[in-house]
A and B are shown apart, each in its own frame.
Chain A
Amino acid sequence: MLDSAKNMKTSLIRDEGIIKSASVLTDEQVRKVINDVLKNETGARLKTYVDTCVHCGLCSEACHYYLSHDKDPSYSPAGKVKQTMWEMIKRKGDVGTAAIQRMSEIASTECNLCRRCAMYCPLGVDIAYIMLVVRRICNKLGVTPTYIEDTSHSHSVTMNQMWVKDDEWIDTLQWQEEEAAEEIPNLRIPLDKEGADFMYSVIGPEPKFRAQLIYQAAVIFNAAGLNWTMPSSPGWDNSDMAMYTGDHEIMGRVKKVHFETAMRLKVKRIVMGECGHAFRSVYDMGNRWLGWKMPPLPMVHSIEFFHDLIKEGKLKLKKKFESPVTLHDPCNVVRGRGLHEMARYIVGESCEEFIEMHPNREHNYCCCAGGGVINCGPPYRNTRVDGNRIKAEQLFAAKSRGAKTIIAPCHNCHGGLEDIVEHYGLHMDIKFFGDILYDLIEKPE
């Protein structure tokens, strides 16, 4: 029965890019690329993970896809490895052009690389790493979902995620500066200020769709009297979808420009907006590809930055946010950097009433948008929403205990949670810390 279910899924490949790319591939090319990557790019880690897995199934309950699909074992973490990497190894790469399409979908859209399963596997197998190797193989074959591949192309051409042109970037910052000047006349968004205390970096979608976030950040920094800057050149974008397609070469180019921009401005550190995957790229993956054990200059996520500003008394709040809030812990800054207690400190300082969702902290369920899944676009919207019913249940439980607003300090989480809130009719607001702090801080006259 399970095999027929699997075949049914194969016949339902939704992504045109995957289908088209696979149509011009030969089985021989698939075999060659798989063996190439396995032989030349992986080693002891992958081999040990595959040899050591005792097929115990104890990782299953870590995965929100598994829980949301009534415990369908094909969605368990090891189940997904079985359908992809085990097949590739068992058949010595000879999986064929039909199977590779489904493997690409599994690795790119049915796993968020959220690493929750790494905390459930008794042997410590890093399944996200294995899924990323599968994505890289698929990417080398060109069978990556269209939308995220386009994003990766944007990174390659423009060094940002959203095809934002160089002049549009500067224009957007000046536009936000003008807007903000109506509220705070002397407010500046300082461009290319050498030797500033920090470079503020954002992701491509901020200038493109959520420019008010840059406005809000400028107001907050201004209120705290900070010495900061933003670059006028490419390198301002910290996001990285190439990391998630497995295109490490583009990831490396993008991160190199990012780090070099900060170096050119001689800033003391990088402060980044409320984004999770960008944090993973700058703190954990991009730096490694470039040969830096840790990022070449200090960098902090907004959660840590706001935490410090409030703690040091640099940001004063007029009042607290009244509506009861719950907090969604984004995987990339919680399982990726342990910022959960700092986030709770900010909530405690800025909100009247806090209602925990369960599970929480490093055990929180993923938003199902991360890991590049939301970037795979409309063909996979339902994969994300149906694949995270458990999140809706978790949010509903928090709502039934009074929570009205979800704080989610991550862009992808926002996108994912918005769809879940809408689809399951939860009627909850979703906010960034920046939204809340912008409203509450004492602003200079």
Chain B
Amino acid sequence: MHSIYNFVSGPMVWVAFIVFIGGCLYRLLSMGILAAKRDNVIFSYASPYYGMRSILRWLTPFATTNMRKHPGMTVVTFIFHFCLLLSPLFVYGHIALISESWNVSWWYLPDSVGDVMAFLVVGACAFFMIRRLKDPEVKYLTSASDFVILAIVAAPFLTGFWTYHQWPGYSICGILHILSGEIMLMAIPFTRLSHMIFFPFTRGYIGSEFGAVRHVQDW
């Protein structure tokens, strides 16, 4: 058990971050090269002003027509992404580990807040899963991989929550927590989770086309 723990919390962390960061850079770079080769028109129409206008608009809750049409989904999506991105960076357990290894640390969330955030992420994943199973327009588009991705995202938060509360089997859960976090990181560049890195480009480009060429808003 100890050796597994040492492995996932040692070398495996390095592997995960190298794959995550390297993978993201590789995806962005190769997409950029492909764009220059085949779609270089993108660069001439890209407008920083209108691109940002669109990105910021779509990052503001209820600022677009479609968000107002689906209030439940909007609330859940924003809470989900907010907690998903922030809690791993500011939860005490993570900062304590980093501080132990490198003697650097930063502001952290009160335990209870981190706990609630993890719960919200898992709850949101359940909501997305139910939506995939129940809503015909989502079900139609859903394949097995969509559930796998949901599981990849939910797992680190579910296991983190479990471990924090020291529920039965929490020591194994702790290992699973680290491992599933690493899997999620490595999955980001190579699955549909890559919308994390491509969102600014797809959103920014359609915003540029709508704003700079067509003189119309895209929300």
Contacts and interface: CB of A to CB of B under 8 A. Distances in A.
Given A47-B31, A48-B202, A119-B219, A2 B214 contact: no
Contacts, number: 136
A51 to B, nearest CB: 6
A57 B137 CA distance: 6
B199 interface: yes
A100 to B, nearest CB: 21
B112 interface: no
Contact of B66 (A2, A45, A58): A58
A337 interface: yes
Nearest to B218: A119
Contact of B198 (A41, A52, A57, A62): A52
B43 to A, nearest CB: 11
Interface string B187-219: 000001011001101111111011001111111
A43 B66 contact: no
B90 to A, nearest CB: 25
A97 to B, nearest CB: 25
Given A58-B70, A362-B217, A288 B140 contact: no
Given A51-B192, A52-B192, A336-B214, A122 B35 contact: no
B interface, over-half SS: helix
Interface in A311-368: 334-338, 340, 362-363
A71 B202 CA distance: 27
A23 interface: no
A337 B136 contact: no
Contact of B216 (A48, A122, A334): A334
Given A123-B195, A124-B203, A55 B146 contact: yes
Contact of B38 (A2, A42, A56, A79): A42
B199 A123 contact: yes
A32 interface: no
Contacts of A52: 192, 194-195, 198-199, 202
Contact of B141 (A41, A43, A66, A79): A79
Contacts of B103: none
A61 interface: yes
Contacts of B32: 44
A54 interface: yes
Interface in B22-79: 31-32, 34-35, 37-39, 41-42, 44-45, 54, 58, 64-66, 69-70, 73, 77
Contacts of B38: 41-44
A151 interface: no
A439 interface: no
Nearest to A56: B138
B142 interface: yes
A120 B218 CA distance: 8
B94 interface: no
Contacts of A293: 44-45
Contacts of B199: 52, 123-124
A56 B135 CA distance: 10
A334 B210 CA distance: 10
Contacts of B140: 2, 57, 73-74, 76, 79, 82
B194 A44 contact: no
Given A48-B201, A293-B44, A120 B138 contact: no
B137 A51 contact: no
Nearest to A363: B65
B218 A118 contact: yes
A380 B181 CA distance: 52
Contacts of A284: 213-214
A104 B65 CA distance: 31
B163 to A, nearest CB: 28
A124 B202 contact: yes
Interface string A114-128: 000011101111100
Nearest to B31: A44
A55 B209 CA distance: 23
Contacts of B216: 334-338, 340, 362
A60 B137 CA distance: 7
B192 A43 contact: no
Given A42-B38, A44-B34, A123-B199, A73 B65 contact: no
Contacts of A78: 141
A120 B66 CA distance: 6
Nearest to B41: A288
Contacts of A294: 213
Given A43-B34, A43-B35, A51 B141 contact: no
Contact of B137 (A43, A73, A340, A362): A73
A71 B214 contact: no
B88 to A, nearest CB: 20
B218 A54 contact: no
A61 B69 CA distance: 9
Given A57-B140, A79-B141, A44 B192 contact: no
Contact of B65 (A53, A82, A120): A120
A49 interface: yes
Interface string A59-90: 01110001000010110101100100000000
Contacts of B54: 124
B218 A45 contact: no
5 contacts: A48-B202, A73-B140, A79-B137, A82-B141, A122-B66
Given A54-B192, A118-B218, A336-B214, 16 more contacts: A42-B39, A54-B195, A55-B146, A56-B138, A57-B137, A58-B70, A61-B66, A71-B137, A74-B140, A119-B219, A123-B199, A124-B199, A124-B203, A124-B204, A294-B213, A363-B65
